[in-house]
Each structure stands twice: as structure tokens, then as C-alpha cells.
Amino acid sequence: MTSESAPIFARGVRKHFPGSERPALDGVDLTVRAGRVCALLGGNGAGKTTMIRILTTLTRADEGVVRVAGWDVRAEGTRVRASIGLVGQYAALDEVLSARENLELFGRLAGLDRRRARERAGELLGTAGLQEVGRRPVGSFSGGMRRRLDLATSLITIPAVLFIDEPTTGLDPQARRELWSSVRALTAAGTTVLLTTQYLDEADALADDVVILREGRVIAEGTPGDLKKLVGEPRMELREPTLEDVYMHLHEGVAAS
Ligand SMILES: Nc1ncnc2c1ncn2[C@@H]1O[C@H](COP(=O)(O)OP(=O)(O)OP(=O)(O)O)[C@@H](O)[C@H]1O
Ligand SMILES: [Mg+2]
């Protein structure tokens, strides 16, 4: 398989928003192979959401080749949209409806008949760990529960490629762990996933491959293990290396480029 036919393929992606000083994306290459989970890791303003928006046809790149699920995002956007799921930064849930009703509604919107929508809602409540609260109105849900439901709604019909923008920002450690296990369970079907995160531990928990973005450029990529090795052995305080540690390590290389 050539890399251009990979589920996510981007070469030389550039995006400069009018009026801003520097490009949001400055020649980004990204390939995610079938069935892999890739984390796009970077701090605030690194360009993560812009990259997700370009890959999901919501924003156009100024330059570059971008193919998702084998289709060109510019010329074949409708095909791309039919092949993907997107979990954005904010939930699109109906607060008054229960979790189950939300899932059934999304199922009907996705074209399932009433019976199949009900079945699928039941399956997804189970996988997302929300079975016991399935009949409660979403308005009463915690941030972590909402996020898991949000993820479940994007998997009603299993997409070939799934995008998740910052799955756990703002969640407490317990809720983050629960969400991680939902992501693992829900993506076990072999969907190719690109998620963004600001946290190395999240990339480590979920991703096969990690791409680090800083100021619109890819500054490092590899497996979570490769990146942690860059930073060396765990420190005296037995702390896991963080994104900051990787930045510190890469700093000289970036300054020289
Ligand atoms: N619609 C827009 N108009 C102008 N500038 C924008 C727009 N969207 C993003 N930017 C700028 O592009 C850069 C990258 O933003 P982006 O939202 O992609 O970063 P991010 O990595 O998702 O950050 P965060 O972690 O805060 O979500 C930032 O400098 C941002 O201010
Ligand atoms: Mg963002």
C-alpha cells in the first residue's frame, strides 16, 4: 500500500489565517496507517484543531495534498464526510433527552430504522460504560459522562476514520481514565483514529504513534516509547516524562532549524 492510500494522508499542509503573524500550519506531513491510533500532541495554539478541521473538510488548506479514507478532501469532500466521525471540542447533545434517547436520535439521523437504532443505542451504552445512567437526562451528567456519550454518538455507524479533538481536557483524573477505556473499547473495531491532546500521558495511554506539533510544524514523531526514550530514564522523583520534557529536549534542534 502506498502512503497516499493510507486512511489519513497529508503532505505539505499550510494554512495562514488572514491577519495572523505566523501560519497556523507550516508544511505539515502526516500519515496514519489503517487501524492505527495516532495522537497529535501539542500545546495551545500548536495547530491541532486547525489540522483536524482541514482533515474533516471544515476548513481548507492554503497548500498541500490531503486525502482521507482514500478521497481528496477538496475535490471529494462529500465522500470524505461519509467515511468519517468527528468528536469536536464541544458536545452536540440534547440536555433534556436521556443518554439512550440521544443515541437513538443520532441513530435515526444516521439512517437506522427504529429497531436497529434502539439496539445500537443499547450496545453503545454498554461499551461506553453508561448502561446504568442510560435513562437519566443528559443535563444531569458530569463532564466525563458527557464526553463518553459524545464519543459513543460518533460511533453509531462505525466510521472508517475517527477524529477526536482533545478527548479529556478539563476532566479529572478518574474521568480521564474512564474515557480512555471507552476510547479503547470503542475503537477496538479497527477504526483508524487521529486524536489531539496536550498530554504525553494521554498519548501514551491511547496511541500507537505520536506526532508532536509546535507552532504549526512537526518537531518529532514516533511511538510513545520512542518519545519517552528521547527524554531518558524516569527521574529520581519517579515522574513520567511530560510534553514539557520533550520540548526541553528538542529545544536546541528547534532553535537551530
Ligand atoms: N479562525 C481562525 N482565525 C484566525 N486565527 C486562527 C483561527 N483558528 C485558529 N487560529 C490560530 O491558529 C493557530 C493554531 O490554532 P489551533 O486552534 O489550531 O491550535 P490548537 O493546537 O488546537 O490549540 P488548543 O490546544 O488551544 O486547542 C493559533 O495561533 C490560533 O490563534
Ligand atoms: Mg484545539
Q: Domain-by-domain residue ranges, the chain?
A: 3-256
3-256: CATH architecture: 3-Layer(aba) Sandwich (3.40)
What pLDDT score was predicted for residue 58?
95
Residue 209: phi and psi, rounded to 5, are -130, 145
CA gyration radius, the chain: 19
State the DSSP H helix or E strand holding residue 86, giving kind and residue range, or none if neither. Answer: strand 84-87
Probe target for ligand 1 pocket from 41, 50, 53, with the most ligand atoms within 8 Å of CB: 50
Distance CA 87, CA 52 (A): 10
Minimal-distance CA residue to ligand 1 atom 1? 17
Residue 27: phi and psi, rounded to 5, are 85, 55
What pLDDT score was predicted for residue 252?
59
Tell whether ligand 1 has an atom less than 6 A from the beta carbon of residue 37.
no
Tell whether ligand 1 has an atom less than 6 A from the beta carbon of residue 50.
yes
What pLDDT score was predicted for residue 106?
92
Distance CA 16, CA 33 (A): 27
Closest ligand to the CA of 164: 2
Residue 47 Cα: closest atom of ligand 1: 18
pLDDT lower than 70: segments of the chain = 1-2, 90-91, 232-239, 252-257
End-to-end CA distance of the chain: 32
Encoded amino acid at 215, one letter: E
Classify residue 30 by burial, with Cβ atoms within 10 Å: 0-12, 13-18, 19+. buried
pLDDT in tens, 51-104: 999 999 999 999 999 999 999 999 999 999 999 999 887 667 899 999 999 999
Distance CA 87, CA 98 (A): 19
Tell whether ligand 1 has an atom less than 6 A from the beta carbon of residue 47.
yes
Whether the CB-CB separation of 204 and 228 falls below 8 Å is answered with yes
Query: What nine digits make up the cell of 252?
Result: 536546541
* Cα 41 to averaged position of ligand 1 atoms, centre (Å): 14
What pLDDT score was predicted for residue 238?
57
What pLDDT score was predicted for residue 121?
96
Minimal-distance CA residue to ligand 1 atom 28? 45
Distance CA 67, CA 64 (A): 10
State the DSSP H helix or E strand holding residue 55, giving kind and residue range, or none if neither. Answer: helix 48-55
Whether the CB-CB separation of 185 and 192 falls below 8 Å is answered with no
Q: Which of 113, 201, 115, 189 is nearest to 152 (CA)?
A: 189
